[in-house]
């Protein structure tokens, strides 16, 4: 693909230096549909990024778009704070009937604000309120958001440094396989909890991602997650699962923790819960934890009613039967096969590949190679990002609705980008 240099001057002169993704993809996007994006010059890009996981059903999904247009055209409520609305009622009923009841999950639903970090902040606040303790345990290479409470339980040193103040009341522990299997799971954590001289304040909660997306596609084993849930129960700590990027079907099941057979005390959900890329997040928790006073945690944009509309349409369209989960797992096998072939072709360059469902990462031996591969993939018409503490992992996050043919096309482009970069 030949790409003419677009005029990016207004972005470079007026927009803050904090901008990120646009630096890796130096073009001006204009339209998007399904698994494709189009720039203003008409170039086509296959999207293996999916809005960082917020577009699990693709761009401008026609079913969701129709529901949204119909709602707007009838002057449905757009902004509703936490008022009761027809759109919110429809979403809550669909969420209860399609997601919670079939999984025998007892959760109350809280609308904490429009973003993932809003959900995490409310989860941490609630855990501290319930337990009367301030300390939260998180895990190495975790990512939970960019506001101060979320940053305090995030591992990445670069992102933490942006806070400008000490990030306190959080303690990191080793994630699954962090110590390469050299020590039994949780031996350090449990020893600290049991030793009154350890200096660890008893935690209110533990927060964990079942698959660390920004941390490098680090996949926790089901048995590790079960052991963590048991540890939390033994020591009177709440278990928070951050399902912001890995929920809504990304790993196969609607919630990423289902495979492990655990029921977290608190779950945070965002990104693809609206299904259309509209800002929306949920904090879910067991009923006995619902000790909030009215208005104790609020926010202006909790009631994004257009997001409720598209979220309801997504649940009823894709989650009323078990087909989406089966399809995602089948597509995941397709990705795993292609990753295996790339690793076989380049044994010196590919340190590892790993994933679940339709989230996969390819770790490069030369850490800088991942960014070069992503850059070459863009030149060839494929959008992929990198992750990991040193951006050493090529990260694949295609829409769950991608066709087998589109997936094959993107994987061929990725293989070519690897060959041409190394």
The pLDDT value given to residue 181: 86
The chain-wide mean pLDDT, for the chain, equals 97
C-alpha distance from residue 317 to each of 105, 167, 245, 371 (Å): 21, 42, 20, 36
C-alpha distance from residue 349 to each of 214, 365, 395, 409, 419 (Å): 21, 5, 16, 22, 10
The pLDDT value given to residue 5: 79
The pLDDT value given to residue 46: 98
Distance CA 155, CA 326 (A): 33
Q: Work out the average pLDDT over 373-393.
A: 98
Q: Work out the average pLDDT over 46-65.
A: 98
* Each residue's pLDDT tens digit, 232-270: 999 999 999 999 999 999 999 999 999 999 999 999 999
Residue 2, pLDDT above cutoff 80: no
* Each residue's pLDDT tens digit, 116-128: 999 999 999 999 9
Positive or negative torsion for Cα 110, 115, 116, 120? negative
* Each residue's pLDDT tens digit, 281-332: 999 999 999 999 999 999 999 999 999 999 999 999 999 999 999 999 999 9
**What percent of the chain has pLDDT above 70?**
99
**To 5 degrees, how large is the angle CA 223–CA 228–CA 234?**
125
Identify the residue whose tokens are 């002169």: 13
Q: Indicate the pLDDT class of residue 366, thresholds 50, 70 and 90.
A: very high
The pLDDT value given to residue 3: 58
Q: Work out the average pLDDT over 55-74.
A: 98
| CA 258 to the chain's CA centroid | 16
Residue 1, pLDDT above cutoff 90: no
* Each residue's pLDDT tens digit, 196-229: 999 999 999 999 999 999 999 999 999 999 999 9
Residue pair 354/389 in contact (Cβ under 8 Å)? The answer is: no
- Residue 109: closest CA among 117, 239, 314, 99: 99
Residue pair 261/284 in contact (Cβ under 8 Å)? The answer is: no
Q: Work out the average pLDDT over 72-84.
A: 97
* Each residue's pLDDT tens digit, 160-194: 999 999 999 999 999 999 999 888 999 999 999 99
């Amino acid at each position: 693909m030949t790409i003419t240099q677009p005029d990016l001057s207004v972005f470079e002169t007026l927009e803050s230096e904090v901008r990120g993704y646009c630096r890796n993809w130096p073009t001006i996007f204009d339209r998007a549909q399904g698994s494709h994006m189009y720039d203003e010059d008409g170039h086509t890009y296959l999207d293996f990024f999916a809005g960082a996981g917020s577009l699990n059903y693709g761009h401008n999904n026609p079913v969701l778009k129709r529901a949204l247009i119909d709602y707007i055209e009838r002057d449905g409520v757009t902004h509703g704070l936490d008022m009761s609305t027809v759109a919110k009622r429809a979403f809550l009923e669909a969420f209860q009937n399609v997601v919670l009841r079939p999984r025998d999950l007892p959760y109350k639903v809280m609308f904490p604000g429009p973003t993932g970090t809003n959900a995490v902040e409310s989860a941490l606040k609630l855990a501290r309120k319930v337990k009367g303790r301030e300390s939260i345990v998180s895990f190495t290479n975790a990512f939970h958001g960019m506001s101060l409470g979320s940053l305090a339980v995030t591992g990445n040193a670069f992102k933490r440094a942006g806070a400008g103040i000490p990030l306190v009341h959080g303690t990191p522990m080793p994630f699954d396989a962090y110590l390469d299997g050299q020590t039994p799971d949780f031996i350090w954590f449990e020893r600290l909890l049991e030793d009154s001289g350890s200096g660890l304040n008893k935690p209110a909660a533990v927060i964990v991602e079942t698959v660390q997306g920004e941390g490098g596609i680090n996949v926790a084993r089901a048995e590790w997650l079960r052991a963590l849930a048991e540890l939390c129960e033994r020591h009177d700590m709440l278990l928070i699962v951050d399902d912001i990027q890995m929920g809504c079907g990304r790993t196969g099941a609607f919630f990423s923790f289902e495979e492990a057979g655990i029921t977290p005390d608190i779950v945070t959900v965002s990104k693809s819960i609206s299904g259309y890329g509209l800002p929306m997040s949920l904090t879910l928790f067991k009923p006995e934890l619902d000790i909030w006073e009215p208005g104790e945690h609020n926010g202006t944009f909790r009631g994004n009613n257009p997001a409720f509309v598209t979220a309801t349409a997504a649940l009823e369209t894709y989650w009323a039967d078990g087909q989406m989960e089966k399809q995602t797992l089948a597509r995941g096998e397709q990705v795993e096969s292609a990753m295996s072939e790339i690793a076989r072709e380049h044994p010196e360059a590919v340190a590892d590949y790993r994933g679940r469902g339709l989230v996969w990462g390819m770790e490069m031996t030369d850490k800088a190679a991942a960014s070069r591969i992503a850059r070459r993939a863009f030149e060839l018409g494929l959008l992929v990002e990198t992750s990991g503490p040193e951006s050493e992992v090529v990260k694949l996050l295609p829409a769950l609705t991608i066709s087998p043919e589109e997936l094959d096309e993107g994987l061929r482009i990725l293989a070519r980008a690897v060959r041409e970069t190394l």
